[in-house]
Amino acid sequence: MSPAPSTSSPKIGVLIVNLGTPDAPEPGAVRRYLAEFLSDRRVVELPPLLWQPILRGVILTTRPKKSAHAYRQVWMDEGSPLAVYTSATAAALAERFAGEGVRVDWAMRYGNPSIADRVRAMLDAGVERLLFAPLYPQYCGATTATANDALFAVLAGLRAQPAVRTLPPYHDEPAYIEAIAATIRAGLATLDRAPDALLLSYHGMPERTRTLGDPYYEHCLATSRLLTEALRDIFAGPIETSFQSRFGRAKWLEPSTETRLAEMAARGLRRIAVATPGFSADCVETLEEIALRGEEFFRENGGEKLHYFPCLNAGAEATNLYERMIRRELSGWLPPPSLD
Residue 285's domain is classified under what CATH number? Answer: 3.40.50.1400
- Contacts (Cβ under 8 Å, ≥6 apart) of 18: 82, 86, 106, 108, 109, 134, 135, 280, 281
What's the pLDDT at 55? 96
Note whether 243 and 185 are same-domain residues: yes
Confidence of residue 10 (pLDDT cuts 50, 70, 90): low
Give dist(CA 120, CA 1) in Å, integer: 8
Q: How confident is the model at residue 247 (pLDDT cuts 50, 70, 90)?
A: confident
**Residue 225, phi then psi, degrees to nearest 5:** -65, -45
Residue 136 lies in a domain: yes
Both 217 and 253 in one domain: the answer is yes
Pair 165, 181 in one domain? no
Residues 70 and 155 in one domain: yes
* Beta strand extents in the chain (DSSP E only): 11-21, 102-111, 127-134, 163-166, 197-203, 239-244, 271-275, 305-308
Same domain, 126 and 185: no
Do 139 and 255 belong to one domain? no
Same-domain status, 145 and 15: yes
Judged on CB neighbours under 10 Å (0-12, 13-18, 19+), 60 is: middle
State whether 159 and 239 are in the same domain: no
Does residue 338 sit within a domain? Answer: no
Q: How does pLDDT run across 210-223, given as a tens digit for each residue?
A: 999 999 999 999 99
| 77 and 183 fall within a common domain | no
User: How many structural domains compose the chain?
Assistant: 2
With respect to residue 141, please indicate whether it lies within any of the assigned structural domains: yes
285 is known to lie in a ligand binding site: yes
Predicted pLDDT at 340: 56
Tell whether 203 is in a known binding site.
yes
pLDDT for 293:
98
**Would you call 165 helix, strand, or coil by DSSP?**
strand
Is the domain of 35 the same as that of 153?
A: yes
Chain-wide mean pLDDT for the chain?
A: 95
Quick one: 147 and 191 in the same domain? no
Does any domain span residue 34?
Answer: yes
Q: Do 218 and 81 fall into the same domain?
A: no
Closest CA to 18 of 147, 108, 149: 108
Q: Quick check: pTM over 0.85?
A: yes
What dihedral do alpha carbons 82, 84, 85, 86 form, nearest 10°? Answer: 80
With respect to residue 340, please indicate whether it lies within any of the assigned structural domains.
no
Residues contacting 329, CB < 8 A, separation 6+ = 131, 133, 165, 167
- Rounded-to-integer distance, Cα 220 and Cα 215, Å: 9
Question: What is the pLDDT confidence band of residue 9, given thresholds at 50, 70 and 90?
Answer: low
- Residue 337 counted as domain residue: no
Q: Each residue of 36-58: pLDDT tens digit? A: 999 999 999 999 999 999 999 99
Q: Which domain holds residue 267?
A: 174-308
* Domain-located, residue 336: no
